[in-house]
Amino acid sequence: MQTACQRGISAAAAGIPLFFCVAAGRAQLPLARELLEEQDWPAARREAQRVLQRQPDHAAARLMAALAGMRLDPSSEPALLALEAAARHAALPADLRPPAAEEIGAARARRGEDAAAYPWLKEAFLASAAAPAFGRRAALLAALLERNPALAAADPALALQAAAAAARAAPAPDAPPRPPSWAARFAEAIVAGYRCGVAPAIGHRCSLDPSCSEYFRQAGRRHGWLALPLIADRLVREPGVVAQGRKPVAAAGAVRYADPLADHYPEGPAP
């Protein structure tokens, strides 16, 4: 059974969102950013390098060039080292540092280098404030600490904080299907008996859609024992609904008149 941390990390494991999206409103390097968003890694790296030729100390351009290089060859250690060096640049804009740390930490964790990933993921988590980045980074850090008790023991407060944040951000597990109630089973049995033994003998006589047997089945599932007065009401109303001739529908080669359960008693779970 998956823990909350494992459920929370499942989406992140498919790939961390590109960190440059955090700075989507930044005016610098608009073309390089667009190329990264389009996942055109060669063109993005060329554009970032073009900026670096004019401004060698442009920290954001260096970071984007390094990211594009790592995406071109995710297994390349030199490419990841270049990204780490770019993330440590003193002039790097403050809002690019945490997502860059997340990118590096996740890459190290995917390689099984948890000790190297830990400081980067810790930095990314502690610098987080807004969702969804906060929950995503909490899930990454909590999962790493969960499989490395020694790292967790070095800072138990951080491990507890990350696990709690990951649990809050994790999607709830799907609830098991609810078994039908006794009233629903009773309605199903009545309908099954009618369709097997009665309907073949008398033919289809209901002029409404859904048929009275289906109406009763749905009412049993939605409303339990209220299905009995609901079907009684349906049988009393049927001649009047047919006489009014509203909502005609074609069904099984005949014209019937729509009279769904929701028009009369809409509350309750779907059948």
pLDDT in tens, 205-224: 778 888 888 888 888 888 88
**Per-residue model confidence (pLDDT) at position 147:** 92
Q: Which domains does the chain have, with CATH numbers?
A: 4-169 (1.25.40), 182-263 (no CATH)
pTM: predicted TM-score of the whole model, two decimal places: 0.56
DSSP labels for 82-118?
Answer: HHHHHHT-TTS-TTTHHHHHHHHHHHHHHTT-HHHHH
pLDDT in tens, 14-71: 344 455 443 433 445 778 888 887 888 999 899 999 999 999 999 999 999 999 998 9
pLDDT in tens, 161-209: 999 988 887 665 655 666 677 777 877 888 787 777 776 666 667 788 8
